[in-house]
Structures are given as structure tokens and as C-alpha cells.
Amino acid sequence: MLSALLVGLGWLAWQQIPRSIPMRYFQISDLLVEGNHRVPTEAIVESLGLAPDASILEVDLRALAATVARNPWIKTARVSRRLPATLQVHVSERAPHAVVVADRAYLVSEDGLILQEASPAEMSDLPLLRLHADHPLGTGERIDHTRVEQGARLWQRFHQGMLGPDVQAREIQLKGDGSYTVLLGQGLPSLHFGEAEGVQQQLDRLARVLEIRGTTLRDLEYADFRFADKVIVKPLAKEGA
């Protein structure tokens, strides 16, 4: 009976306390954002869309994290409470992995997500991949990450001097049939690969072909490596021929 009496008295006391007092105590007053480098803190806070009087006890943490992660630069987002009134947001960001040129030039992450349009300055330091798309692309759209990764890896191999320090990839075209065409620049042939693996072995075969023919890379219009048992080369047409 004593316990029941105490509970009843407590309930009556609770009814006399204005509801606004406990709600103000848990009203979110501080927001901590961690892990962001490219995305401004203000942009992350704004994306939460919190009401001015939002209570830390009532917000849906998973829904808030999903809202933050809508930004293509945000790879993961986690939102947690620090009672009584602090909301903490921890994010990890994507990084540009390549520039993909379709209808426009875009920065693309390693997992194939279009981050934003690429500026000329950003294009100078990243692999340049050209992709045929049957529709205009846009920020937040995803491209086949396997093609992006393989194209970027192929680019890096050429920039590591596989054909010499003066022979580097200028552009890699991702073909619709899964093959790759490497453009080496003016005065050099285009190279056609069926896949991005085994490139060094294929180029070693090309070196032997050039040695046998007594010619150089600059004497070719293109070299085709898309066949397992052969290298097809087309010499430049002689003037007047």
C-alpha cells in the first residue's frame, strides 16, 4: 500500500510540472560534426533539417544519418546522442578517383559515384576516362565501379613508364563492349585492349613485334591486343602510298 501511495503521489507531482521544463532540458543545443574535410560543417548541419526546438530524445538517428549520406561526397554517416543536449555526427568522405567524360567532365569516386562536375584544374591530376552514355549524367548517379577502377589502374600503369617516361596515356576510352582504347597523344598510336589485366605482357609482345619489323611505336597508327594469340599492328600510311 505504501508503494502504491508513493506512485500515486509521484504521478500527481508529475502532472503539476509544466511539460516545457523537461523538454527544454533535452532540446538540442549543440551539434558536433567530425570526419569532414571537403563538405563544410554548415552544409552537414543544414542537411539534418532539425527544428529549432527538436528534442534529443525524439530524433530518429538512423533517418538523420541517411539524410546526411544523400550528399554524394559523404560515404558513411553516423549520428549519436550525447545527453543531455548534444547531437554528434561522424562522417567519412569519398575522394575523387578519376575524371569521367561523357556529356560533361565529372569527378567520380572509387565506388563509381559521380561527385560533381570537374574543373580544368581537377582534371590535370586524375585519370581521364571517356565513357559513352545514352543519357546525360548527373551528380549522385553511379557508374560501373569496376570499369572506373580498371580504367584508372590502366592509366596509372602507363604513367609509371611502361612504354618509357615520354609515353603516357592522355585519355582512356571505356568501350561499350568492355574493351579499352588508350590514346597516347599526337604522333603516337592508339592501343586497343580487350581487358585491363595482363597489359605488361601484351606490351612486351608489342616490343618483340616492333623489333622483328625493325620499326618504332611512332611508325604505327594503332596496335590491337584484343586477341589472345596475336598482336595486330597497323603501320602509318606512307606519303603518296
pLDDT digit string, tens, across residues 91-149: 999 999 999 999 899 999 999 999 999 988 888 889 999 998 888 889 999 999 999 99
What's the pLDDT at 240?
A: 47
CB atoms within 10 A of CB 138: 11
Q: What is the mean pLDDT of residues 80-90?
A: 91
Cβ atoms of 96 and 85 within 8 Å: the answer is no
Whether the predicted pLDDT of 51 surpasses 50: yes
What's the pLDDT at 191?
A: 92
Which residue ranges make up each domain of the chain?
Answer: 21-93, 96-235
pTM: 0.79
Q: Do domains 21-93 and 96-235 have the same CATH topology?
A: no
Cβ atoms of 173 and 205 within 8 Å: the answer is no
What's the pLDDT at 20?
A: 46
Rg, the chain, Cα only: 29
* Rounded Cα–Cα distance for residues 14 and 149 (Å): 61
Q: What is the mean pLDDT of residues 217-241?
A: 82
Question: Percent of the chain scored above 70 by pLDDT?
Answer: 88
* 237/73: higher pLDDT: 73
From 185, 189, 106, 98, select the one nearest 147 (Cα to Cα): 98
Please provide the average confidence, as pLDDT, over all residues in the chain: 85
* Rounded Cα–Cα distance for residues 73 and 110 (Å): 12
Lowest-pLDDT choice from 13-27, 37-51, 65-79, 88-102: 13-27
Whether the predicted pLDDT of 241 surpasses 50: no
**β pairing state of 105-109 and 86-93:** unpaired
Cα–Cα distances in angstroms (integers) from residue 121 to residues 40, 60, 97, in the given order: 21, 40, 15
Q: What is the mean pLDDT of residues 85-96?
A: 94
CB atoms within 10 A of CB 15: 8
**β pairing state of 114-117 and 128-131:** unpaired
CATH number assigned to the domain covering 21-93: 3.10.20.310
Q: Which CATH superfamily is domain 96-235 in?
A: Cell division protein FtsQ/DivIB (3.40.50.11690)
* 75/24: higher pLDDT: 75
Residue 13, all three cell numbers: 507531482
